Amino acid sequence: MKIAVLPGDGIGTEIVAEAVKVLNVLELKLEMETALVGGAAYEAYGHPLPEATLKLAKEADAVLFGAVGDWKYDKLDRPLRPEQAILGLRKNLGLFANLRPAICYEQLVGASSLKPELISGLDILIIRELTGDIYFGQPRGRRIASDGLFPGTEEAFDTMRYSRPEIERIAHVAFQAARKRSKRVTSVDKANVLETFQLWKDVVTEVGTQYPDVALDHMYVDNAAMQLVRDPKKFDVVVTGNMFGDILSDEASMLTGSIGMLPSASLNASKQGLYEPSHGSAPDIAGKGIANPLATILSAAMMLRFSLNQEAAAQRIEAAVKTVLAQGLRTADIFSPGTTRVSTLEMGAAVVRAL
């Protein structure tokens, strides 16, 4: 089993190092190869996603990814910015299905900004379409406007776009995931305003007829954003487009108290996947040894489950994470009085010990 390890920037290197230690202790036959990506790759090779890194990722069964980005690259031309590395990997590997679970760990109920009773037991799965929508739609660009409200002035434009097959395949992922859970799918759209999302709603409804055992409802994205903080537990599987999914998954992650706890998987049609924490590179705390490695460690568990067919090993990692939380060990982001504050290294070592 070949794994491309791409730590990236900021806290990426610190947290991926701990996940690699955890994988090594499992004694599986894993072949791990590391490469530069994001700002780190730009510094070394002048490009955030060098050919060699892309090749390594394509040839691997799975990619373990840290995070990319730093404010210092904000002035670069868009194609050279670190974020293009993750977008390029998603597009080139066809990783259209992004699974972002938002699970509230019982010991961390107090870490959320919401009332404990609202989030205790929370277990939502956000499924975000990842290779279409306004992120990738053409045409896009800047120009001098020839029409509109202010002709002759500078304007910029992006194109929101979805095809029927793109919507069908992500809908199938959602319904199949719901079958393994509480059999409810909420499809989030903006069909009241956008043609793209009227098609989305129509196609999801059609696909839904093939899953009569799964209850489907539809919600406008603005309402969904509101319901997520009003009564999050009424959701089970949420399926939505790339842009709305980006926003709603950040919102959902904070319901659980810490974005530092949440893993994610991005899968293609052949179950090849990229696994990364839901959080970013956090340049403000990079190099301080205080980042929470648990989201990345849990992403490694998802990798074992979805791409490497090692369900038992995935469950062992998840159990080990629960053990260290039960031991009261907390990195800064999830610390509360009465618990023990630990560093990135100490948290990784504790998970290794628990295993």
Q: What are the residue numbers of the active site?
A: 135, 190, 222, 246, 250
How many residues make contact with Mg ion (CB under 5 A)?
Answer: 1
| Contact assessment for residue 239 and residue 214, using Cβ atoms and an 8 Å cutoff | no
Quote the least distance from Cβ 86 to ligand IPM, whole Å.
6
Helix (H) / strand (E) element for 123: namely strand 123-129
* Burial of residue 70, with CB atoms counted within 10 A of its CB: 0-12 exposed, 13-18 middle, 19 or more buried: buried
Number of C-beta neighbours around residue 162 at 10 A: 22
The DSSP secondary-structure symbol of 332 reads G
280 beta partners: none
Residue 246 found at the interface with ligand IPM (CB under 6 A): yes
251: partner contacted, choices Mg ion, ligand IPM, none (Cβ within 5-8 A by kind): none
Quote the least distance from Cβ 323 to Mg ion, whole Å.
30
Binding segment for ligand IPM (CB under 6 A), chosen from 5-13, 44-52, 79-87, 184-192, is 79-87
Using CB under 6 A, which of 25, 32, 76, 87 touches ligand IPM?
A: 87
Grouping H, G, I as helix, E, B as strand and the rest as coil, residue 161 is: coil
Binding segment for Mg ion (CB under 5 A), chosen from 156-164, 192-200, 244-252, 339-347, is 244-252
Using CB under 5 A, which of 158, 202, 246, 346 touches Mg ion?
A: 246
Residue whose CB is less far from Mg ion, 243 or 267: 243
Residue 83 found at the interface with ligand IPM (CB under 6 A): yes
Residue 25 found at the interface with ligand IPM (CB under 6 A): no
β-strand 184-189 against 237-240: which pairing, if any?
parallel
Residue whose CB is less far from Mg ion, 202 or 246: 246
Grouping H, G, I as helix, E, B as strand and the rest as coil, residue 134 is: helix
Whose CA is closest to 267, among 95, 125, 131, 132? 95
Quote the least distance from Cβ 245 to Mg ion, whole Å.
9
- First-residue to last-residue Cα distance in the chain: 21
Quote the least distance from Cβ 197 to ligand IPM, whole Å.
18
- Contacts of residue 164, Cβ cutoff 8 Å, sequence gap at least 6: 199, 203
Q: Which amino acid is it at 30?
A: L
Quote the least distance from Cβ 242 to Mg ion, whole Å.
10
Residue whose CB is less far from ligand IPM, 187 or 278: 278
Instruction: Give the separation between CA 37 and CA 39, rounded to whole angstroms.
Output: 7
Q: Is the dihedral of CA 144, 147, 153, 155 positive or negative?
A: negative
Residue whose CB is less far from ligand IPM, 15 or 324: 15
Residue 202 found at the interface with ligand IPM (CB under 6 A): no
Quote the least distance from Cβ 246 to Mg ion, whole Å.
4
| CA geometry: angle 56, 61, 63, nearest 5 deg | 60
Cα 194 to chain centroid, rounded: 25
Residue 86 found at the interface with ligand IPM (CB under 6 A): yes
Backbone angles phi, psi at 202, to 5 degrees: -60, -45
Quote the least distance from Cβ 246 to ligand IPM, whole Å.
5
β-strand 62-67 against 273-277: which pairing, if any?
parallel
Residue whose CB is less far from ligand IPM, 136 or 335: 136
Instruction: Give the separation between CA 20 and CA 116, rounded to whole angstroms.
Output: 33
How many residues make contact with ligand IPM (CB under 6 A)?
Answer: 5
Residue 134 found at the interface with ligand IPM (CB under 6 A): no
Residue 251 found at the interface with ligand IPM (CB under 6 A): no
Binding segment for Mg ion (CB under 5 A), chosen from 115-123, 189-197, 238-246, 302-310, is 238-246
Binding segment for ligand IPM (CB under 6 A), chosen from 83-91, 144-152, 180-188, 303-311, is 83-91
Residue 332 found at the interface with ligand IPM (CB under 6 A): no
Instruction: Give the separation between CA 87 and CA 99, rounded to whole angstroms.
Output: 16
Residues in the site for ligand IPM, rule: CB under 6 A?
Answer: 69, 83, 86-87, 246
Residues in the site for Mg ion, rule: CB under 5 A?
Answer: 246
